[in-house]
Structure 1
Amino acid sequence: MTVNDDSFTSWKNREEIAESMIPIIGKLHRERDVTVLVHSRSLVNKSVVSILKTHRFARQIAGEELSVTETLPFLEALTTLDLGPSQIDIGMLAATYKTDDRGLSVAEFTAEAVAGATGENKIERCEGRDVVLYGFGRIGRLVARLLIEKAGSGHGLRLRAIVVRGGGEQDLVKRASLLRRDSIHGQFQGTITVDEANSTIVANGNTIKVIYANDPSEVDYTAYGIDNAILIDNTGKWRDREGLSKHLRPGIDKVVLTAPGKGDVPNIVHGVNHDTIKPDEQILSCASCTTNAIVPPLKAMDDEYGVLRGHVETVHSFTNDQNLLDNYHKADRRGRSAPLNMVITETGAASAVAKALPDLKAPITGSSIRVPVPDVSIAILSLRLGRETTREEVLEYLRDVSLHSPLKRQIDFTTAPDAVSMDFVGSRHASIVDAGATKVDGDNAILYLWYDNEFGYSCQVIRVVQHVSGVEYPTFPAPAV
């Protein structure tokens, strides 16, 4: 048998193992509200090849290969336990088991590592929480995809309605088509049907009412059987407490804004300050995509090295706020053609840092350049540190943060030598540290942070909504603090 034959036989064996994992992962998710992860990446509803690729990706961040042959025993061990709702990272279980020298079996080690999700320790399954989307643009449709994707167990967030302004003929069909097909993010994973008579879209069995209204005051959500719901405002039309309070109509309990909030509206970056949300807070903001990209690594660097001052320059993909061709725009420069120009503009991300990281006293400045790409941006974060360090030390620290810290869902890490922006379309992290581009000289560090300003940000929004709704389940093994 040749080397090529050996490689192909190994691949087919791993395919067979991954295929056997799919029903186990699905059953744990549907019946117990358990989400199986590999290094913070969900394996729920993934194909055989996707499962193998997720394992293969571990070599970039962990520095060594991870095979399904290593993780399958831990997955099988989970099926023997009395698990409650949780997220369980079998990649981390396999990695930590290698370093454990107590001679425990896989079953014994797994039972100990996830003890917080079993027996008397397990939390009760939620009854589910209604969610309403106000606006159905770029972020609204991606948030809808995520809500539908995560509705598998029936005990989490439930997308009940979408509120939009009335359109022309076949409005509902066209909106459903935009949900079904996306030029950047590809096809919707599942089936979508339209019931024009009842003004509903049915996506993967989820019945979503489309409500036409020109103003929040026109809607009584209880008339549609919606109660105690979280409304996600994707329009950005209202950003202060007074304006967003208009959404607190019958049936709506909380309002989450997908844009920077103004005044006393809390700006929340999940992973950094989501635990500061007061239980009775009804209005909050998820800040901006750029704020979400820079605040987690900024916090990580400040925790380890101290940050004395910093500057962020965002090279940002163009957005709907710009013009396709030169035309009038109320803002400077944004009236010039977005697909043809680099456009210098402002960013509020630097000033928003103070809201998310009030303990950081370092002055942070910022500016932005919009460039002719439709998605994925990069933030160049230049920092003056509190002590001198080396490039190797910073990279090893950030790699470890991406794997083991409470920020591992926000910060990803890549060592790919020829990575470019399109490689990060669909990333679920708030930002991805580009190891190859990182520069360190004494007490100066420059981090290059990729981020999918559409999908990665939408994932952060969903995490905040899960947190305030009570369906954000604990992760095991618990990340290091």
Structure 2
Amino acid sequence: MTVNDDSFTNWKIREEIAESMIPLIGKLHRERDVTVLLHSRSLVNKSVVSILKTHRFARQIAGAELSVTETMPFLQALTALDLGPSQIDLGMLATMYKADERGLSVEEFTAEAVAGATGANKIERREPRDVVLYGFGRIGRLVARLLIEKAGSGNGLRLRAIVVRGGGAQDIVKRASLLRRDSIHGQFQGTITVDEDNGMIVANGNAIKVIYADDPASVDYTEYGIRDAILIDNTGKWRDREGLSRHLRPGIEKVVLTAPGKGDVPNIVHGVNHDTVKPEERILSCASCTTNAIVPPLKAMDDEYGVLRGHVETVHSFTNDQNLLDNYHKSDRRGRSAALNMVITETGAASAVAKALPDLKAKISGSSIRVPVPDVSIAILNLQLARETTREEVHDYLREVSLASPLKRQIDFITAPDAVSSDFIGSRHASIVDAGALKVDGDNAILYLWYDNEFGYSCQVVRVVQHVSGVEYPTYPATAV
């Protein structure tokens, strides 16, 4: 048998194992509300090839490819346990098992590692929490996709309605079409139908009411059977407590803003300060995409090295608040063609750091350039550290943070020498450390952080909503602190 034959045979074996993993992952998700992960990447509703590619990607961060032959025994062990709602990382289980020297079987080790989600320790499955989207633009539609995707277990969050201004004939059909097809993020994974008579979009069986309103104060959500809902404001029209309070109508319990909040509105970056949200807080912000990209790695660097001062330069994709061609705009430069120019503009991300990281004493400045790409941005974080270090030390530290720290859902890590911006479309992390571009000289470190400013940010928004709704389930095995 030739080497090529060996490789193909090996592929077919792994393909067969991945096929057998799919029903086990699906059953755990539907029946027990367990999300199976691989190094923080969900394997729920993934194809055979996607599962294999996710295993192969582990070589980028762990230094070696992870095989389905290694993870399948842990998945099989999970199916035999009395699991409650949770997220369980097969990659972490396999990695920790290799390092364990006690001679336990896979079944024994798995039962011990996920003990907090089994038997008397498991938490009860919660009733779905109603969610309303106010606005249905770029972020609104991606958040909708994520909410629909996560509704498969029948628990957690349930998208009940979207609120938009009336757009004329066939408005609902056009909005459904924008949800179905996206020029950047591709086709919606599932089926979408329109019930024009009842004013609903039905996506993967989820009936979503389309409510037309020009003013939040004009809507009574209880008329649509909506109770104690989380409303996500994607418009950014109101950013202070007074304006956002207009959403606190019958049927709405909390309001989450997908833009930086002003005044005393808490700016929450999931993974960093989400646990500071008080149960009685009814209005909060998810800050900006750039704030979400820089705050987690900034916290990681400050925790390990101390940060004395820093500057962030953001090279940001263009957005809908710019003009395609030169035209009047209230901002001086954003009126110039977004598709033809690099445009210097302001960013509030640096000043927003203080809200998300109040213990950070370092002064962080910032600036931004909009460039002619439709999605994915990069933040260049230039830091003066409290102690000298080396590139190798920072490299290994950030890789470990991306693998086994409480920030692993926020920080990703890539070593590919030829990575470019389009490679990160669809990333679910808040930021991705580009290892090849990392620069360290004594007490100076420069981090290059890619981020999908649309989808990655939307994932952070959903995580915050899950947390404040009480449906953010714990992850096992527990990560190092």
Band of TM-score, shorter chain: over 0.9
- The answer for the alignment partner of 1:271 in structure 2 is 271
How do 1:84-233 and structure 2 match up within 5 A? 84-233=84-233
CA distance in 2, matches of 1:400, 1:329: 45
Tell me, what secondary structure is at the counterpart of 1:18?
helix
Paired letter, 1:351: S
Q: In 2, Cα distance between the equivalents of 1:400 and 1:364?
A: 25
Query: Hey, what's the Cα distance between the residues in 1 that align with 2:479 and 2:457?
Result: 22
Q: CA offsets per residue over residues 56-112 of structure 1, 9 Å max, x none?
A: 000000011100000000000001100000000011101110010000000000000
TM-score (norm 2): 1.00
Q: Does 1:294 align with 2:294?
A: yes
Deviations 1:285-336 (A, max 9, x none): 0000000000000000000000000000000000000000000111120000
Q: Deviations over 1:16-48 (max 9, x none)?
A: 000000000000000000000000000000000
Please state whether the residue corresponding to 1:31 is helix, strand or coil.
helix
C-alpha separation in 2, matches of 1:332 and 1:348: 17
Give the aligned partner of residue 25 of structure 1: 25
Output the amino acid matched with 2:442. Answer: G
SS in 1 for 2:315: strand
Letter in 2 for 1:45: N
Alignment gaps of 5+ in structure 1: none
Shift of 1:248: 0.2
Partner letter of residue 80 of structure 1?
A
Amino acid at match of 1:164: V
Report what 2:461 is aligned to: 461
Q: 2:328 maps to which residue?
A: 328
Deviation at 1:168, TM superposition (A): 1.3
CA distance in 1, matches of 2:446, 2:355: 23
Q: Deviations over 1:360-383 (max 9, x none)?
A: 000000000000000000000000
- CA–CA distance in structure 2, aligned partners of residues 234 and 478 of structure 1: 33
- The alignment-based identity, stated in percent, is 89
Show the counterpart of 1:3: 3
Give the CA deviation at 1:15: 0.4
Deviations 1:155-174 (A, max 9, x none): 11000000000011110000
Q: Which amino acid aligns with 1:58?
A: A
Give me the whole-angstrom Cα distance separating, in 2, the residues matched to 1:466 and 1:416. Answer: 32
User: In the alignment, which residue of structure 2 is the partner of 1:54?
Assistant: 54
Q: CA deviation at 1:430?
A: 0.1
Match of 2:357 in 1: 357
> 1:33, 1:96 → 2: CA distance?
24
Q: Distance in 1 between matches of 2:65 and 2:163?
A: 46
Matching residue of 1:451 = 451
Report the alpha carbon displacement of residue 256 of structure 1 after superposing the two structures with TM. 0.1
Q: Write the distance in 2 (CA, Å) between the matches of 1:459 and 1:249.
A: 26
Deviations 1:119-151 (Å, cap 9, x if unpaired)? Answer: 000001010100000000000000000000000
Secondary structure of 1:152's partner?
helix
Q: Partners in 1 of 2:232 and 2:478 — Cα distance?
A: 29
SS of the residue aligned with 1:397? helix
Q: How high is the TM-score relative to the length of structure 1?
A: 1.00
Which secondary structure does the structure 1 equivalent of 2:182 belong to?
coil
Q: What is the deviation of 1:52?
A: 0.2
Q: Give me the whole-angstrom Cα distance separating, in 2, the residues matched to 1:78 and 1:281.
A: 37
Whole-angstrom distance in 2 between the partners of 1:332 and 1:373 = 20
1:381 corresponds in structure 2 to: 381
RMSD: 0.3
CA distance in 1 between partners of 2:94 and 2:155 (Å): 29
Q: Distance in 2 between matches of 1:65 and 1:260?
A: 39
Name the structure 2 match of 1:43: 43
> What are the residue-to-residue correspondences of 1:241-280 with 2, within 5 Å?
241-280=241-280
Q: Stretches of 4+ moved more than 4 A in 1?
A: none
User: Counterpart amino acid of 1:128?
Assistant: P
Structure 1, residues 225-251: CA drift from partner, whole Å, max 9, x if none? 000000000000000000000000000
Counterpart of 1:73 in structure 2 is 73
1:335 maps to amino acid: G
Measure, in 2, the Cα distance between the counterparts of 1:102 and 1:324. Answer: 63
Q: Which structure 2 residue ranges, 5 or more long, are not aligned?
A: none
Superposed CA offset, 1:243-284 (max 9, x none): 000000000000000000000000000000000000000000
Instruction: Kindly provide the CA deviation profile for residues 395-427 of structure 1, in whole angstroms up to 9, marking residues without a partner as x.
Output: 000000000000000000000000000000000
SS state of the match for residue 444, structure 1? strand
Aligned to 1:437: 437
Using the TM superposition, give the Cα deviation of residue 431 of structure 1 relative to its aligned residue in structure 2, in angstroms: 0.1
Question: Superposed, which structure 2 residues align to 1:286-435 within 5 Å?
Answer: 286-435=286-435
Partners in 2 of 1:348 and 1:323 — Cα distance?
Answer: 21
Local SS of the residue matching 1:150: helix
C-alpha distance in structure 2 between counterparts of 1:87 and 1:378, whole Å: 29
Q: Following the alignment from structure 1 to structure 2, what is the Cα–Cα distance between the partners of residues 360 and 93? A: 33
Work out the CA distance in 2 between the residues paired with 1:344 and 1:307: 27
- The letter of the residue matching 1:259 is A
State the one-letter code of the partner of 1:317. S
Q: CA separation in 2, counterparts of 1:185 and 1:430?
A: 17
- For 1:363, give the aligned amino acid: K
